[in-house]
Structure 1
Amino acid sequence: MASTPDATSDPTEDPVLRMENVTAGYGNTTVLHDVSIAVEDEQVACLIGPNGSGKSTLMKSIYGFADVQSGTVSFRGQEITGRSPQQNLANGMSYVLQDASVFPGMSVHENMLMGGYVFNDDDRAAARAEELYEEFPVLADLRSQSAGTLSGGQRRLLELARALMVEPDVMMLDEPSIGLEPRFIDDVFERIEQLNDLGTTILLVEQNAEKGLSIADRGFVLASGEIKFTGTGTELLNDEEVGRLYLGG
């Protein structure tokens, strides 16, 4: 059986991203309870668990959208607890929210440029967008089209590409497959693996637990705001108790 970790027993020696004994929530509401995780550089790490378990809150606690009541969040050894989303974006972290976040009344290209607003340099943002169109040719073909007319899969690709405008060290993805047809799910996960192969560390929340764990170097099972199991993606997929409780096995 995979074991429940603590901050000292985690096998990661020098993680790019670490939460230590974090209790967090929103205002007076506590959602996470004494959570510790660590993600190594260039890993894919996947958070799974039932609805309402605190997965999105964990991501938001890292990125500055939720309130960390105690504990610490560190990025490359530097404490970033409570740092604003804008500061995180400007310092090598990007976050693709679960909810649709494209600007429907703007073109695909205008949406892309919004991802580079932290540059404060229009020419740099435009040049970076052109680089990404080479990696996402379907978006290049649609660059003048209103983002509100895109399919679900195309919108998700636009969100991924826009999050890459800042060339992040760490990319956080909240439910990247939600609401997508199976063929688009495969496309999105293939793109995630390609990004990881290029050196981007990925932390994702995924309701499709088997799909998420199948590409994960590290997996965490969250329930009732606590980490219940951790291990490699393969270990969690093969764990009978994890399968029975969380994978429908």
Structure 2
Amino acid sequence: MSEITVENLDAGYGSVQILHEVSLTARTGEVTCIFGPNGCGKSTLLKAMVGVIDPWAGRVSIDDDDLTHLPSHRTLGRGLAMMPQGGGVFPHLSVRDNLRIGGYTIRSRKQLDERIDELLKEFPRLRERYGVPAGQLSGGEQMILSIARALILNPRFLLFDEPSAGLSPKLVGDVLARAAELARRGVGVIMIEQNIREAMRVADRMYVLVAGRNRFEGTPADVKDDRELMHLYLGGR
């Protein structure tokens, strides 16, 4: 089992500080959900973890491997992958080319082709749509493509930024079930999700951020009801 640890992280954009001493721990084989009101710093936290933005202070590590200040292409090589909000597919490129982009750090073409073939067996709908531009896929198919692309390098941790955004209620359930299945296979899933009730059904651990600060950490069982959760959002505990 691997563990990713965020310790007292400060981060922001320009001169505007967004995160204030935020800490988080997540483990492989578990789903860790991050909740909080809009603008509280959830996406900024994920970006700082994967190296899209450089933290101002604090530390990010997987086990004893310090990832702080590493750029995103190097954190990817250390086992940390992120799926941005909306999936981030390249609409004018085919399913094939989107998958190949996910493995751009794999130097062996044979190894990359073998890895893509493994994922096409796992996601047979993508094989059926292999030559189709990603922009012509349905919302659910684009989400599956995004997940498959993120799995190309066999990450230890996969970070989801609101995977259910813009999806129908049925597809929301499918995406969250997929996240839970990844955790059962040993991947550590860290997920921002606004659909709190559905996400809490698959979460092993949860965090609530308010105004860029830790407000709560625990398990879904530690939150008695919607009233208590709202109290956390508004500044309780």
TM category, shorter: over 0.9
Decide which of 205, 229, 234 is 1:242's aligned counterpart: 229
CA distance 1:153–1:203, shift in 2 (3 Å): same
Q: Does 1:201 align with 2:164?
A: no
**May I ask how many residue pairs the two structures share in their alignment?**
234
Q: Once the 2 structures are TM-superposed, how far is the Cα of residue 236 of structure 1 from its aligned partner? A: 3.0
Q: Once the 2 structures are TM-superposed, how far is the Cα of residue 239 of structure 1 from its aligned partner? A: 7.0
Q: Does 1:25 align with 2:17?
A: no
Decide which of 132, 138, 144 is 1:157's aligned counterpart: 144
RMSD: 1.7
Q: Does 1:184 align with 2:171?
A: yes
CA deviations 1:47-88 (Å, max 9, x no partner) are: 000100000001011011123111111112221111111001
Partner amino acid, structure 1, of 2:153: V
Contact 1:173–1:203 (Cα < 8 Å) also in 2: yes
Q: Secondary structure at the match of 1:145?
A: coil
Output the TM-score relative to the length of structure 1.
0.89
Partner amino acid, structure 2, of 1:19: V
Report what 1:83 is aligned to. 70
Report what 1:3 is aligned to. none
Which deviates more, 116-125 or 43-52? 116-125
Which deviates more, 222-231 or 181-190? 181-190
Q: Does 1:74 align with 2:64?
A: no
Q: Does 1:137 align with 2:124?
A: yes
CA deviations 1:111-134 (Å, max 9, x no partner) are: 111111111222111111110111
Q: Once the 2 structures are TM-superposed, how far is the Cα of residue 19 of structure 1 from its aligned partner? A: 0.9
Output the TM-score relative to the length of structure 2.
0.93
Q: Once the 2 structures are TM-superposed, how far is the Cα of residue 210 of structure 1 from its aligned partner? A: 1.5
Q: Does 1:127 align with 2:130?
A: no
Report what 2:26 is aligned to. 39
Which deviates more, 136-145 or 197-206? 136-145
